[in-house]
Amino acid sequence: MAPVSVAAGARLHFGFENLSLEHERLYGALGVALDEPAVELAAEPADAVAVRDDGRGGADAPSTETVADVRSYAELACELLNVPGAAITVRAAIPRHVGLGSGTQLALATMAAVARAHDREAAVRERAPDLGRGGRSGIGVAAFEAGGFVLDAGHPTSRFTTHRPPVGEWTVPAVAARHPIPDDWRFLLVLPDAEPGRNGEDEDESIRAAVERADPDVADRIAGIVARRVLPAVADGRADAFGEAVAAVGRLNGTWYADEQGGVYRPPVGEIVASLSDAPAVSGAGQSSWGPAVYGVTDAEHAAAALEAGEDALAAAGVDGDVRIVAGRNRGARVERRRGDGPTAN
């Protein structure tokens, strides 16, 4: 059977609508899908799981840890699909634990690659909980499915409280609103060389602590910003208004996490955001998820100036890092089977 290739882009996570137990719905995330960085896999059916990187190197080359993660997800995927194995090559990867959704995209890409290699349906939304994904935010799953700007519906507070249900026993939040990202919008990514963001058990503990003391009034303010500023801005295609609105959501989210990450933003994000806030080419800047990834909203006309502002912000903070301008992604993951002279989309 011909090999399958899967490519899925990163995502930005602007924050949650609510962390307070006093409201009926918990979480409710908003974010956007990005064209890059991306995870790219190739897979063929096999009698056992074998995973390697393609050895090309480069800025988005997979790390040893990423290859190990793919192996774990592939073994779980084979168990869930009741297939013997897959030979997987990891061609590129999203940086791990920097706030760009690498874990979910890697897990779903691996599931899709193994499933399609064996001519099975991936059904990523249904299987994501068994992979440990979509337990709070549904942005990563929705981005993998169809891209765009996404607002998810969150979870019933009575079901989640301060603890997620056991792995596999939750439902990925439904998409409450989705809008295409305008073609001329661009996103500045500043990835400082800093400690990874919260993940795993550390993230679970931090979220529980934030939920236990979350101020419900903050959620009410966020709801107003989402309804009256974020959604109209993306529907109207106004990048400047959108950037300012999602940055406001991020700042309010930061008040919930301040005790966990050392402030509204984790170091050194605060200094970078402050620098970008003074840059005319950037409309709104903030921290994606637990960071250290910093985003800024701009457009194609101002992309070069925004890139320079990102480089200047890193220099002002006294840290090294990577700066990129990327487009939004209005399609889901690319899944192709190569037959004959070219690819055939699945």
pLDDT digits (tens, 9 = 90+) for 203-259: 888 888 889 999 999 999 999 999 999 999 999 999 999 999 999 999 999 999 999
The reported pLDDT for the residue numbered 47 is 97
pLDDT at 162 over 80: no
pLDDT at 187 over 60: yes
The reported pLDDT for the residue numbered 342 is 47
269-303 pLDDT, tens per residue? 999 999 999 999 999 999 999 999 999 999 999 99
The reported pLDDT for the residue numbered 58 is 84
pLDDT at 197 over 80: no
The β-bridge partners of 187 are 297, 326
The reply to whether 150 and 90 lie within a common domain is: yes
Residue keyed to tokens 């700007």: 149
**How many structural domains is the chain composed of?**
2
Mean pLDDT of 35-63: 94
pLDDT at 344 over 70: no
Mean pLDDT of 26-55: 97
The reply to whether 170 and 186 lie within a common domain is: no
Assigned domain for 250 exists: yes
Q: Which domain holds residue 137?
A: 4-178
The reply to whether 168 and 104 lie within a common domain is: yes
Among candidate residues 178, 213, 244, the one where a domain is terminated: 178
Among candidate residues 113, 143, 178, the one where a domain is terminated: 178
Among candidate residues 133, 150, 178, the one where a domain is terminated: 178
Assigned domain for 335 exists: no
Q: What percent of the chain has pLDDT over 70?
A: 96
pLDDT at 337 over 60: yes
Q: How confident is the model at residue 1 (pLDDT cuts 50, 70, 90)?
A: low
The reply to whether 78 and 172 lie within a common domain is: yes
- Kindly state the tokens that stand for 157: 């507070």
C-alpha torsion angle, residues 176, 164, 103, 171 (rounded to 10): -40
Mean pLDDT of 33-61: 95
The reply to whether 232 and 103 lie within a common domain is: no
The reply to whether 195 and 235 lie within a common domain is: yes
